[in-house]
Structure 1
Amino acid sequence: MSNTQGMPPPTLRRAISLPLLVFYGLGVTIGAGIYVLVGATVAQAGVYAPVSFLVAAFVMLFSASSFGELSGRFPQSAGEAAYVEAAFRIPSLTVLTGALLLAAGTISAAAIAVGCAGYVALLVPLPLWMIIALTVLFSGFIAAWGIVESVRFSAVLTVIEVLGLVVVVIAGIWYQPDIIIALPTVFPQPSDTPALTSIGVASLLAFFAFIGFDGMVNVVEETENPARNMPMGIFITLVITTLLYFSVAAVAVLLLPLDDLGQSAAPISLLYKSLTGMSPTAITLIAIAATLNGVVIQAILSARIIYGMANVGRLPKGLAQLDARTRTPLLATGLVTVGTLAFALLFPINILAERTSQVVLVVFILINLALLRIKWRGDPAPDGILIVPAIIPVIGLVTCVAMLVGPIFIG
């Protein structure tokens, strides 16, 4: 029996240390973005694809800083919705923010699940739809298992996926030591308008590869010393992913034919095979681990968004109910799993990735506006949290708007 008489209801377990938080951030960030979408980025930006990842990281930096301060001011699940609520106190805007977050998390999980299934299909002779369904259902089970168990499972997969990318970079340098000298060629001339245009368009896809730190704030109630660990975890995650993405993309465009990269559904496997001459089975297994990890963590964060909104009365209270044994929101996790499965079976990965990026950019615009509003009012901040200058959310707002509407005008 759960919740016997006189016993308090279960609460979220504060058990995520800084290392586990970084693994969580890396796990939700690294995945389909680099293991699958690097090929699509190359198809749009060619040899300048690595710069697209730097542009996306630059846009992320300012919004990440805003999240760092807001997570200290309002350390609760459904962080983004809570930030908008505190800033504007407009219930409909809060609900809209939560809906956008759920859409982004669910669509993102679907995109990563499709990418995972693509790699699994190279090894398992099953229909693609069946592989997608099994991937999503298994991920939902892991997400419902328990937060410590889920994050530890994620941490193991994260180590594997990071090592896979490091191996590819080292293999590239070993295979062609002159690649370091050739690195400046991936940067266009400032006067090369077509190249800059292609980078701008490709950066929207590259932006998908960095989505993750926003999900980190949704486990703040389960993080040890969140005022210190959450901002540190966000910035460490952003630095590591930027270095990895740029390095992998640079090795890829400098050592492989761009047409082959742009047309490949499994570009990392193609790169590994070209560099080593070995069967790509090992790197395919790593890609499966990476993408499966992404689905699991997106399911965790989406369920926490539902839990957080229900807990403050913006969704039915039943969705905030925690299982007494796992101390996870089982009903919320189940709803997220069903939604993820529907999107994954209905849409291709590139459409899912672009829509995720667009929805997240809208959320980031609201978050930067929220921090500006709070600073403008002069709301006092708790002691010991990260405080950023007002110019940071201003730049975050401008860069997010530019990335959101830029491809529309360029197109």
Structure 2
Amino acid sequence: MASLFARKPIGELQVDQESTGGLKRALGVGDLVMLSIGAVIGAGIFSTLGTAAAGEVNAAGQVVRYGAGPALVLSFLLLGAVCGLAALCYAELAAMIPQAGSAYAYSYATLGELLAWIIGWDLILEYAVGNVAVAIAWAGYFNSLISPWVQLPGWITHGYWNAKALAANGDAAMQQVIDTAPRLGGIPVLINLPAFLIVMAITWLLVIGVKESTRVNNAMVVVKLLVLALFIIVGAMHIDTANYTPFAPNGFRGIHQGAAIVFFAFIGFDAISTAAEETKNPQRNMPLGIMIGLGVCTVIYMIVGAVATGLIPYQQLKSSDPLAHAFEVAGLTQFSWIIAAGAVVSMAAVLLVFQYGQPRIFYAMARDGLLPPWAAKIHPKYRTPHITTILTGVLVAVGALLADDAATYDLTNIGTLSAFALVCVGVLVLRIKEPNRPRPFRVPFVWGVTLLGAGACVFVMWGLPVHAWERFGIWLLIGLAIYFVYGYRNSVLRRGGGPPSSGATPVPQAPLEGKQ
């Protein structure tokens, strides 16, 4: 049993990948901050803000989750504090262990192989499963944007399970789409073609190379910030202060549950830690990129939340496109299409960064023997993990083609929060086990920050509905089955012999194509 918690020596994680044919170091602090903003500001703020403010009711009119109302700004502040604690822990580990793999790599060095596998499995929820929801949300905004000129048939803009869910909730128009859709073996053909195509386009871009991808991301980040600035400036001039009363209609319960809903808006700041092996001077640049990016996004969110809930009554924000909808209700329809266009760009940036992160998790796990060796292959020309990039792209694209986005939000949130909590614990464990190891960046007040950070993540998780915990439990059981069938038997650390934490057994580097 002890071998399940074997820790990978940090000395083996600090190999210079550039000199051994690994990933290419090309990113600076500015690139990392832009990657962070590109990942964080997207589907969350453009899609879940309305539900977090207004709450959620089921078809029978029963309250499923209470909304925060105008106190949504406090939900954002709460999440900024929670994520800030986790970000400090990410910064310490990213500076010490500048390797692809993010929380997975950190946990391998601090908590052992089994917990590292669990975190790696959880991160699939954040990046791959979360990206299914982002792609579907992107397609919705894209269809709204082009609708004045092009009307796409409903059966190619709604996935099968998404259409079925909408119809089950009483959407008569969607039921008509289902009834009139072409049939294949008696089953209605219902696909979300725009969502599929955007994921495949981004996958192609990521195979080409990391620097090319970040240039595209930087341009998209500038566009999304300009659009949010427009929303803030125009919206602030039309605020009705009467909409701020009552400020917290459901008390702290609403603030708490609203935070659990809108946590999806904060997912992504940790994605840049997957870029550690492709960052110049990662010991300095990774902590700066993580903390600056998160701080900027938190401030933007609080301002947007204050403007949105002041522009119209919070109950009317419940919409799939709450920011554009707020302008329409307020009579500012001349600007709503700009917001829709900004949402299309913003969510494309999120897709780019998350699709960037997931293959690097697979790359790191395969390099450790926990996944098959082909997942650690590097393209001989572009020096990107092309096989896992293509595989992830196909899986996400197919998911977006058929899935229901609402079913993925809570699962993504709970998986990400669990990973954050374990990273906080990992920092404390490593401080105890290896107190003298050099740390380019140190978490201040480490006991308080790590324990409070882990506890805060669990507290936010507690605000999620029961079905999210049930699905998360099933997901973990599937992951554990895969680990014991394949990963446990093929672990490089275990097959290497010798004490797992002795540092005596070098971990092989990712092989190049055609070179074993």
Contact 2:42/2:346 (8 A) holds in 1: yes
Structure 1 residue 60 corresponds to structure 2 residue 83: yes
- The code of the aligned residue for 2:431 comes to K
Please give the secondary structure, in 2, of the residue aligned with 1:235. helix
1:99 is aligned, of 121, 145, 153, to: 121
Contact 2:54/2:316 (8 A) holds in 1: no
Residue 337 of structure 1 corresponds to 393
- The code of the aligned residue for 2:365 comes to M
Q: Displacement, 1:185?
A: 5.6
Residue 44 of structure 2 corresponds to 33
Contact 2:92/2:439 (8 A) holds in 1: no
Residue 136 of structure 1 corresponds to 199
Deviation digits for residues 294-317 of structure 1, max 9, x if unmatched?
111100000111112222322222
Deviation digits for residues 176-200 of structure 1, max 9, x if unmatched?
4x75xx7986854xxx7x3211111
- The code of the aligned residue for 1:22 comes to V
- The code of the aligned residue for 1:153 comes to V
Residue 11 of structure 1 corresponds to 22
Equivalent pairs: percent with the same residue?
Answer: 29
Residue 154 of structure 1 corresponds to 217
Provide the rounded CA distance (Å) in 2 between the counterparts of 1:186 and 1:154: 40
Q: Displacement, 1:347?
A: 3.6
1:82 is aligned, of 93, 105, 117, to: 105
Structure 1 residue 174 corresponds to structure 2 residue 196: no
Structure 2, unmatched stretches of 5+, are 1-18, 56-66, 158-191, 469-516
Provide the rounded CA distance (Å) in 1 between the counterparts of 2:217 and 2:123: 21
Number of corresponding residues: 394
- More helix as a share of residues: 1
Structure 1, unmatched stretches of 5+, are 1-7
Q: Displacement, 1:81?
A: 1.2
Regions of 4+ moved over 6 Å: none
Structure 1 residue 320 corresponds to structure 2 residue 376: yes
Q: Cα gap change, 1:272/1:159 in structure 2, threshold over 3 Å: closer, same or farther? A: farther
Alignment TM-score, normalising by the size of structure 1? 0.90
Contact 1:66/1:388 (8 A) holds in 2: no
Structure 1 residue 117 corresponds to structure 2 residue 139: yes
Contact 2:378/2:385 (8 A) holds in 1: yes
- The code of the aligned residue for 2:454 comes to L
Provide the rounded CA distance (Å) in 2 between the counterparts of 1:315 and 1:350: 30
Q: Displacement, 1:235?
A: 1.2
Please give the secondary structure, in 2, of the residue aligned with 1:380. coil
Structure 1 residue 288 corresponds to structure 2 residue 354: no
Provide the rounded CA distance (Å) in 2 between the counterparts of 1:65 and 1:361: 15
- The code of the aligned residue for 1:109 comes to N
Deviation digits for residues 101-120 of structure 1, max 9, x if unmatched?
12221011111111100001
Structure 1 residue 200 corresponds to structure 2 residue 226: no
Residue 404 of structure 1 corresponds to 461
Q: Cα gap change, 1:275/1:25 in structure 2, threshold over 3 Å: closer, same or farther? A: farther
Provide the rounded CA distance (Å) in 1 between the counterparts of 2:331 and 2:282: 42
Contact 1:50/1:186 (8 A) holds in 2: no
Provide the rounded CA distance (Å) in 2 between the counterparts of 1:155 and 1:183: 36
- The code of the aligned residue for 1:51 comes to L
Q: Cα gap change, 1:187/1:76 in structure 2, threshold over 3 Å: closer, same or farther? A: farther
Structure with bigger gyration radius: 2
Q: Displacement, 1:47?
A: 2.4
Provide the rounded CA distance (Å) in 2 between the counterparts of 1:115 and 1:406: 23
Alignment TM-score, normalising by the size of structure 2? 0.72
Provide the rounded CA distance (Å) in 2 between the counterparts of 1:233 and 1:51: 25
Contact 2:244/2:310 (8 A) holds in 1: no
Deviation digits for residues 77-105 of structure 1, max 9, x if unmatched?
1121111111123x232222211112221
1:108 is aligned, of 130, 133, 139, to: 130
Contact 2:238/2:311 (8 A) holds in 1: no
* Cα-Cα RMSD: 2.2
Provide the rounded CA distance (Å) in 2 between the counterparts of 1:183 and 1:15: 48
